[in-house]
Amino acid sequence: MLASGTFEVITLICGLILPRFILGAFGSANNGLVSSISQFLSYISLLTLGIAGPTRVALYKSLSKNDMRETSAILKANQRFYRKIAVAFVVYMYILAAVFPFIVKSNLKWIEISLLVIVIGIGSLAEYCFGVTYASLLDADQSAYIYTIIKIVCKILNTITAVVLICAGSSLLVVKFGSAIFYVLQPLTLTAIVRKKYDLPKSVKADNRVIKQRGDAAASSIANIIHDKTDIVVLTLFASTLAVSVYSVYMLVMNGLVSIMRVFTSTLEAPFGILWAKGDIDSLRRNMRTYEFLVYSFTAIVFSCTGILVMPFVSLYTDVVSDTNYIVPAFAVLSTIATAVFCIRQPYLTMVQAAGKYKEMKIGNFIEAGLNIGLSLALVYKFGLVGVTIGTLAANLFRTVLYAAYMSKCLIQRSYLTVILRTVWLICNCAIIVGIYFVFPGMVSYSTWSEWIISGGKCVALSMVVTLGMAFVFYRSDLIQAIKVIKRMIFK
């Protein structure tokens, strides 16, 4: 958790630094172009759907028995699968390099755009060839911190190199090539470390049972990918790279906050899975109350502050460019709400996945994906950024309600009223916090970064006081239990 938390903080910081330099040196259109290329390249991950979860489950079993032959057999099948993906990725990358210059508006020459596609794709290609399989092994063996440390070092070196190249007056293509070097070194370093750490027999037959089990988990992965990728693709095809640039700047904040939340929730699937396997419903119900309370409290504190501070942040962040308007209040509000809804889904998603209920949720996941794509396409022409965000918000609401209802009724057997009351509590918290700032607008000042940071500190302090006060009144037992859990984690 410490390594993961450090990585997310470093990623957030680097993710804020580098795009600002790109904006200043190359403009909004080229910043949007880079985001669009990255999103289009990432769609090849659709071919990997449903493989990660079953692989981890299989590795849990083989590692618990210290059976290196079985572990090696699982990894060999996994590696063969990803090598095929790598071949498909190369074909897709060259096709995209050929057609992308003709579907996007840019001031770059078509050859520069084509080369940019290839350079940006190099890192993903290396990951499919070397990194993904061994990352799954470390994750299953509770040694994911090893790869996380490698990623931290590469992320820092990548950002420093890119900033130096930009300051030296290098072209966008050269800057991205410098970044690609570290994206290649990352999986190569991982491969060397894993081969030294584990004595994996080479003369074993690949165990393809995991590959055959990927179907039921695929629907959830499709919904997740569409949630992450649809907006930029729709904006690229039906709006402009300027709109993509505006979207990507706001998403720097939203995705960073989601990543921080996931630091504390990503490790909880296994404990809930163990309790489910034991049939200990009472413990599941009790621990879910604490988990819910912590996530809802995090959401109340963080996203009430986000709603207040995100536009002042974007105003300061984009003061180096004037080629498009980055202050879009409706988009800021809707994207904040959509991300908050995405976060409160996490406890229910964790429980459903821990119980392995992929098949039961398949239809709902496809409906979410259809809602996201359908509404985004229908609304982007008239409303642009706001239109695609309405699609994302509607899809997030649907899937959150679906998972919360299924978990409550079918997994831990409790009343759905619990979720409704927590949601009302969350909304009241946010309304009080935001309402105070409407009454006292002078509390937020952002003419300089130092003023924005001070305002942010005040906002967080106020949000914590209101949220903890409301928790003490309405959820006192959950608050006490959450404090005990946090203390136990710290001292342990």
The DSSP-derived string for 346-381 is HHHHHHHHHTT-TTTTHHHHHHHHHHHHHHHHHHHH
pTM of the model: 0.72
Average pLDDT over residues 149-161: 90
Q: Which amino acid is at 56?
A: R
Beta strands in 218-340 (DSSP E): none
Residue 223 is predicted with a pLDDT of: 64
Calpha distance 451→128 (Å, rounded): 44
Query: Is pLDDT at 180 greater than 90 in this prediction?
Result: no
Query: Is pLDDT at 122 greater than 90 in this prediction?
Result: no
Query: Is pLDDT at 146 greater than 70 in this prediction?
Result: yes
Residue 333 is predicted with a pLDDT of: 92
Helix (H) / strand (E) element for 187: namely: helix 172-197
Output the CA–CA distances (angstroms, integers) from residue 314 to 242, 248, 253, 303, in the order listed: 15, 11, 9, 16
**CA 475 to chain CA centroid, nearest Å:** 29
Query: Is pLDDT at 479 greater than 70 in this prediction?
Result: yes
* Alpha helix segments (H runs only) across 127-143: 132-140
Length of the chain: 492
Task: Quick: pLDDT tens for 134-145.
Answer: 787 887 777 778
DSSP assignment letter at 441 = G
Residue owning tokens 């930009």: 166
Residue 353 is predicted with a pLDDT of: 76
Query: Is pLDDT at 217 greater than 60 in this prediction?
Result: no
Task: Quick: pLDDT tens for 317-376.
Answer: 888 777 778 888 999 999 999 999 999 988 888 888 777 777 777 788 778 888 888 888
Task: Quick: pLDDT tens for 274-294.
Answer: 677 677 788 888 888 888 999
Residue owning tokens 């899809």: 395
* Encoded tokens for 465: 């006081």
Pick the residue with more confidence: 228 or 69? 69
The residues near 374 (Cβ < 8 Å, ≥ 6 apart) are 391
CA-closest candidate to residue 405, choices 413, 298, 343: 413
CA-closest candidate to residue 388, choices 324, 450, 335: 335
Lowest mean pLDDT among 149-153, 202-206, 416-420, 475-479: 202-206
* Encoded tokens for 460: 């967080």
Query: Is pLDDT at 88 greater than 80 in this prediction?
Result: yes
Q: Give percent of the chain with pLDDT exceeding 90.
A: 13
Query: Is pLDDT at 219 greater than 60 in this prediction?
Result: no
Residue 243 is predicted with a pLDDT of: 83
Residue 212 is predicted with a pLDDT of: 60
Lowest mean pLDDT among 155-159, 275-279, 323-327, 430-434: 275-279
Q: Which amino acid is at 466?
A: V
Calpha distance 436→431 (Å, rounded): 8
Task: Kindly indicate the confidence band of residue 131, based on its pLDDT and cuts at 50, 70 and 90.
Answer: low
> Rounded to 5 degrees, what angle do the CA atoms 352, 357, 359 make?
140
Calpha distance 236→32 (Å, rounded): 9
* Encoded tokens for 333: 């509000």
The DSSP-derived string for 206-229 is --THHHHT-HHHHHHHHHHHHHHH
* Encoded tokens for 2: 């410490």
CA-closest candidate to residue 338, choices 287, 375, 312: 375
Residue 221 is predicted with a pLDDT of: 64
Residue 490 is predicted with a pLDDT of: 67
- Scored b (16 or more CB within 10 A) or e, 102-140 reads eebebebeeebbbbbbbbbbbbbbbbbbbbbbbbbbbbb
* Encoded tokens for 218: 């695929």
CB-based contact 155:116 (threshold 8 Å): no
Residue 464 is predicted with a pLDDT of: 93
Average pLDDT over residues 194-205: 79
Residue 105: φ, ψ to 5°: -90, 125
Taking the domains of the chain in order of start, what are their residue ranges? Answer: 1-213, 215-492
Calpha distance 87→91 (Å, rounded): 7
Task: Kindly indicate the confidence band of residue 380, based on its pLDDT and cuts at 50, 70 and 90.
Answer: confident
Lowest mean pLDDT among 60-74, 301-315, 413-427: 60-74
Tell me the pLDDT of the chain averaged across its residues. 82
Q: Which amino acid is at 463?
A: S
Output the CA–CA distances (angstroms, integers) from residue 267 to 117, 260, 264, 373, in the order listed: 34, 13, 7, 30
Helix (H) / strand (E) element for 162: namely: helix 144-167
Residue 253 is predicted with a pLDDT of: 86
Average pLDDT over residues 439-455: 81
The residues near 428 (Cβ < 8 Å, ≥ 6 apart) are 470
DSSP assignment letter at 446 = -
CB-based contact 470:477 (threshold 8 Å): no
Residue 336 is predicted with a pLDDT of: 93
Residue 301 is predicted with a pLDDT of: 93
Maximum mean pLDDT: which of 74-78, 131-135, 260-264, 330-334: 330-334
Query: Is pLDDT at 216 greater than 60 in this prediction?
Result: no
Pick the residue with more confidence: 126 or 221? 126
Task: Kindly indicate the confidence band of residue 470, based on its pLDDT and cuts at 50, 70 and 90.
Answer: very high
